[in-house]
Amino acid sequence: MSWYAIDAADRAVSRTREALFEPFDFWKWAKLAIIIFLLGGLSSYGNSSGYNMASEDLKDNFTLIEHGQTPDLLFDMYDNAFSNIFPVGYMYPEPQLATAVAIVILLLLLIFVFSYISSIMEFVFVESLVRNEVKFWAYSRRFLGKGFRLLLVRLAIRLVFLALFGISLLPLIPVIRETSSDFTWPTLLGGILWIVGVIVVLFLLAVAIDSLLSLAIPLSIYRNKGILSAFKLVLGNFRKSWREVIAYWFVRVVLRIGVSIIAVLLIGLMILVFGIAFLIFDTILYFLFLSLVSDPLNWILLIPFIVAELVFIFGTLFFLSVPLAVFMKYHLLSFLEAWYADAEIPFFDIPVPEPEAGVGEPEPTF
């Protein structure tokens, strides 16, 4: 068994150093920071809803359950929820409902757009690091199609996992439908453990598939394949040398822990340094404004400065995190280069072979 993942770490360090520090290029760092930011896309979203049911309603519902009757809990919760949102007399709150639907559609559209941009940046980031040239707009236009197909594949995978999670809940339906007299704490605990176990298994499976899909992205570029065809190539090689991939996953976990520790220390140090500096600066400004404007609300004048300082701090932290993200991507690419023999990744630091003697030279003329 070859330790490709460990060797790839050394290669990733040297490539990160050559790409970012030999020589240092501020604008390359800035463009890479933008790409990394867009890679995150809209990482999390959610909605929340609350139900404010009266205690008497709850008591009545539980009384019905104890006597073997099934109350219309769903409709009661629906009525109580909307009674807090819409005024009395709105039996069919069509304008409010239309607004809510429009907001949901807009949010879904934004999520789709940001996810599409993130999928394009997956290819742009790989190409930028492999070529050691960051051509943001040229690469973005080039990978519009591949990014869209990657988005569709990831959406399909998420739908499959959602369906698997729904199927895994089917055995719990008879338990949920039991009356409270037959409901016991061991049954509840067993249901909770089942759900947690299913979530853990699906999460690990999703992480593994996403890792293999990330390995397929460079193959899609440099083998000129579709994302599904490249994924099949990765799966085929995984069946032949799965031990190397398991070791790769383990090394990736260790590297991510190390990178996370460095990031936390970096964030803490930067916040401490800039926080103290800006606190002194803002204090001086406050007393300066106090001497010029004798108004108890003169602290409002500090708001633009505070906003600018926060933007500067977060921008600086994001800028300094570029080497960490670049290193992790170079580790993936370097592992793929060694693990998949026919990857054909044209790294910038691989010397171009010189032509053989007499090959490509013009014939002498007499």
pLDDT tens digit sequence for 306-328? 888 888 888 888 888 899 999 99
Question: Which pLDDT score is estimated for 318?
Answer: 83
Percent of the chain residues past pLDDT 70, beyond the cut: 75
State pTM to two decimals: 0.74
Question: Which pLDDT score is estimated for 156?
Answer: 94
Contacts of 361 (CB under 8 A, 6+ apart): none
Question: Which pLDDT score is estimated for 344?
Answer: 87
Question: Could you tell me if residue 81 is inside a domain?
Answer: yes
Question: Could you tell me if residue 26 is inside a domain?
Answer: yes
Contacts of 120 (CB under 8 A, 6+ apart): 140, 143, 144, 146, 147
Query: What's the burial of 276, exposed, middle or buried (CB within 10 Å: 0-12/13-18/19+)?
Result: exposed
Mean pLDDT confidence for 260-286: 87
Question: Which pLDDT score is estimated for 178?
Answer: 61
Which one has a higher pLDDT value, 73 or 349? 349
Question: Could you tell me if residue 297 is inside a domain?
Answer: yes
Q: Which two tokens stand for residue 210?
A: 């996403």
Mean pLDDT confidence for 148-171: 91
Question: Could you tell me if residue 166 is inside a domain?
Answer: yes
Q: Which two tokens stand for residue 262?
A: 């460095």
Phi-psi region of 36 (alpha: psi -120 to 50; beta: other; left: phi over 0): alpha
How much is the mean pLDDT over the chain? 80
Question: Which pLDDT score is estimated for 35?
Answer: 94
Model confidence at 40: pLDDT above 70: yes
- DSSP conformation letters of 17-42: HHHHBTTB-HHHHHHHHHHHHHHH-S
Grouping H, G, I as helix, E, B as strand and the rest as coil, residue 171 is helix
Confidence of residue 283 (pLDDT cuts 50, 70, 90): confident
Least confident of 47-61, 78-92, 296-310: 47-61
Grouping H, G, I as helix, E, B as strand and the rest as coil, residue 238 is helix
Question: Which pLDDT score is estimated for 297?
Answer: 64
Q: Give the closest residue to 233 by CA, choosing from 100, 92, 342.
A: 342
Q: Give the closest residue to 68 by CA, choosing from 156, 183, 165.
A: 183
Confidence of residue 61 (pLDDT cuts 50, 70, 90): very low
CB 79 within 8 A of CB 72: no
Confidence of residue 305 (pLDDT cuts 50, 70, 90): confident
Domain range spanning residue 166? 4-42+72-339
Question: Could you tell me if residue 53 is inside a domain?
Answer: no
Which one has a higher pLDDT value, 194 or 254? 254
Q: Give the closest residue to 221 by CA, choosing from 339, 351, 134, 126.
A: 126
Model confidence at 191: pLDDT above 60: yes
Give residue-wise pLDDT tens across range 328-365.
999 999 999 999 988 889 998 777 555 554 444 444 43
Mean pLDDT confidence for 218-239: 93
Question: Could you tell me if residue 352 is inside a domain?
Answer: no
Model confidence at 67: pLDDT above 80: no
Q: Give the closest residue to 259 by CA, choosing from 315, 326, 313.
A: 326
What's the structural domain count of the chain? 1
- DSSP conformation letters of 75-106: HHHHHHHHHHHS-TT-SS-HHHHHHHHHHHHH
CA distances from 346 to 219, 220, 337, 352 (A): 11, 13, 10, 9
Question: Which pLDDT score is estimated for 119?
Answer: 94
Question: Which pLDDT score is estimated for 172?
Answer: 75
Give residue-wise pLDDT tens across range 101-137.
889 999 999 999 999 999 999 999 999 999 999 999 9
Least confident of 157-161, 207-211, 296-300, 345-349: 296-300
Give residue-wise pLDDT tens across range 229-247.
999 999 999 998 899 999 9
Model confidence at 49: pLDDT above 80: no
Helices (H), the chain: 4-20, 26-40, 55-66, 73-85, 94-131, 136-142, 144-168, 173-176, 185-222, 227-240, 242-292, 303-320, 322-339
Question: Which pLDDT score is estimated for 18?
Answer: 94
Residues 124 and 212: their CA atoms lie apart, in Å, by 18
Model confidence at 248: pLDDT above 90: yes
Residues 202 and 187: their CA atoms lie apart, in Å, by 23
What sign results for the dihedral spanned by CA atoms 31, 33, 34, 39?
A: positive
Question: Which pLDDT score is estimated for 354?
Answer: 56
Percent of the chain residues past pLDDT 90, beyond the cut: 48
Which one has a higher pLDDT value, 226 or 50? 226
Q: Give the closest residue to 123 by CA, choosing from 142, 95, 98, 104.
A: 142
- Whether residue 186 is preceded by a cis peptide bond, meaning omega within 30 degrees of 0, is no
Question: Could you tell me if residue 48 is inside a domain?
Answer: no
Question: Which pLDDT score is estimated for 22?
Answer: 86
Residue 24 pairs with which residues in a beta bridge?
A: 21
Question: Which pLDDT score is estimated for 13?
Answer: 94
Q: Which two tokens stand for residue 180?
A: 């409270």
DSSP 272: H
Looking up tokens 């519902």, which residue turns up? 61
Question: Which pLDDT score is estimated for 202?
Answer: 93
Question: Could you tell me if residue 355 is inside a domain?
Answer: no
Least confident of 39-53, 120-134, 283-297, 342-356: 39-53
